[in-house]
Amino acid sequence: MECHRTHGQVVVPIFYDVDPSVVHQQKGTFGEVLKATAKKIYSDSGEEMVEYMLSRWTSALTQAANLSGWDVTNCR
């Protein structure tokens, strides 16, 4: 999303077996897995780094979910 903002690169989100609103809000199982993944990857760097990266991911996912894309749950 940073390259989309700064360089105008095209971003086409594809939501495969997940509703775009779930990605936008990062709630439920999706949100839990997102937090667990951040903790797993960045736990050695400290809690501040986990929170920082989680906030960056959350922001990027919210921005991506607001773009037009394909919702694969509507396809066979």
C-alpha distance across the termini of the chain, in Å: 29
Beta carbons within 10 angstroms of residue 15's beta carbon: 18
- The pLDDT value recorded for residue 21 is 87
Range of the domain at 62: 17-74
11 lies in some domain: no
72: confidence class by pLDDT, cuts 50, 70, 90: low
- The pLDDT value recorded for residue 19 is 82
23 lies in some domain: yes
pLDDT tens digits, 3-51: 989 999 988 888 777 888 898 899 889 999 999 999 999 989 999 999 9
Rounded alpha-carbon distances, angstroms, from residue 28 to 34, 46, 48: 10, 25, 23
The total number of structural domains that make up the chain: 1
Q: Are 17 and 73 in contact (CB under 8 A)?
A: yes
